[in-house]
Amino acid sequence: MNHSWVEVDLNRLRDNLRALRSEVSGKTEIIFVVKANAYGHGLLPVAKTAAEEGVNWFATAYLDSAVALRSEITSANLLVLGRVAPEQIDLLLDHRITPIITDLAHGLELAAAARERGTTLDAHLKVDTGMGRLGVQWDEVAQTVRELNQAGGLNLSGVCSHFAKVEPDNPVDATIQAERFEAALAHLPPTVFKHLSSSRAALYFPEWDFDGIRQGIDLYGYGATDPKGRFQMEPILQWKAQVAQIKQVPPGFSVGYYGTHTTEYPTQIATVAVGYADGYNRALSNRGDVLIGGRRCAVVGRVSMNWICVDVGPDAKVSAGDEVVLIGKQGDDAIWANELSSICRTIPYEILTSINALLERRYIG
């Protein structure tokens, strides 16, 4: 019996990209965020499709992903959002990858490494305007830029920040961050490449587009369904499995570890070949649904390492090998990652990125 697998609709990704581009000025670049294996969708196929659609900027969390991306995408700008160590500068230079400067000490280290090689390294300055994570504090930008310029070895070709909170009906916190970012720009040449907005910010606030908008979760189909937003997008990933076994069981039948579910009537239990080792969250035990034969069926008992059990009802015509939809659409019903994330008290990002990277990805389009 096969493992579960993932299907990614690249045609729908193209539709999402076109919907975004139609609402954004031609002067603003789309920076496609492909962290965490493109949010679980598969780094190279997703990025190559976006490049074919004219996307010229990609952002990864770590350098190794950017290096892998460069092997397939030769001309795009690649930006690493995490801290790159100075001893990795040869990879940056050889593969034409742009790092983020996270603080003054980090910038000076990269500058020294570049000077040792007799070259200048392009870099973007990360400004912490209120996220409290990576970046130079907004009120330390002037001193940081001055010292980095004096050191030599760096070309601060870009500047960026990241919103901690974007609420379209109460944008006070985001507005404060945007004002701090704009104040920081006074200490840099006007020609630097400026990018501030994340997916949610770009959805509601075109005034913060600047030179580039970093787009992640919306292009994968989540967080951009509000008709008040500038664009709407649809999920591009489906996760499927197969029925491994179907059995008739009587009332009072215990299912799974520690018998956390007991049947109330004669029914059929389908064992499905997916489990928490594949990324199917244990919080879905006795709470989640799957689609079989176009119908919703309840996950019963605890999610185990490689299998789940599903009550398909007493009269369902279900056989071993039948397709099971964990995330996606079947018949007239659908289960998407935002539904699972609500049950698990998390966010769609975690549901998607938790799908085991070793599972087969099948690409459509």
Predicted pLDDT of residue 278: 97
Residues 190 and 335 in one domain: no
Is the residue at 146 inside a domain? yes
Residues 36, 158 share a domain: yes
pTM: 0.94
Domain contains 82: yes
Is residue 222 one of the residues assigned to a domain?
no
State the CATH number of the domain containing residue 259.
Answer: 2.40.37.10
Is 227 within the bounds of a domain?
A: no
Residues 306, 176 within the same domain: no
Instruction: Identify the domain boundary among 149, 180, 215.
Output: 215
Q: Are residues 306 and 253 in the same domain?
A: yes
Give domain status of residue 2, yes or no: no
- Distance, CA of 337 to CA of 348 (rounded, Å): 5
In a domain, 247, yes or no: yes
How distant, in Å, are the alpha carbons of 56, 134, 263, 282 from that of 304? 42, 37, 18, 8
For residues 144 and 289, state if they share a domain. Answer: no
Which of 180, 215, 250 represents a domain boundary (last residue)? 215
255 is a domain residue: yes
Catalytic residues: 35, 257
- What is the extent of the structural domain holding 315? 237-364
Q: Are residues 159 and 260 in the same domain?
A: no
Choose among 342, 339, 330, 268: nearest CA to 300. 268
What are the backbone dihedrals phi and psi of residue 181, each rounded to the nearest 5 degrees, phi first? Answer: -65, -45
User: Is residue 289 domain-shared with residue 253, that is, in the same domain?
Assistant: yes
Domain CATH for 59: 3.20.20.10
Q: Which of 162, 184, 215 is the last residue of a domain?
A: 215
User: Are both 175 and 295 inside the same structural domain?
Assistant: no
Q: Are residues 136 and 18 in the same domain?
A: yes
The verdict on 207 and 245 lying in the same domain is no
pLDDT score recorded for residue 3: 85
* % of the chain with per-residue pLDDT over 70: 100
Q: How many domains does the chain have?
A: 2
Residues 258 and 120 in one domain: no
Is residue 33 situated within a structural domain? yes
Positions in the chain whose pLDDT score sits under 50: none
| pLDDT score at 1 | 53
Are 187 and 335 part of one and the same domain?
no
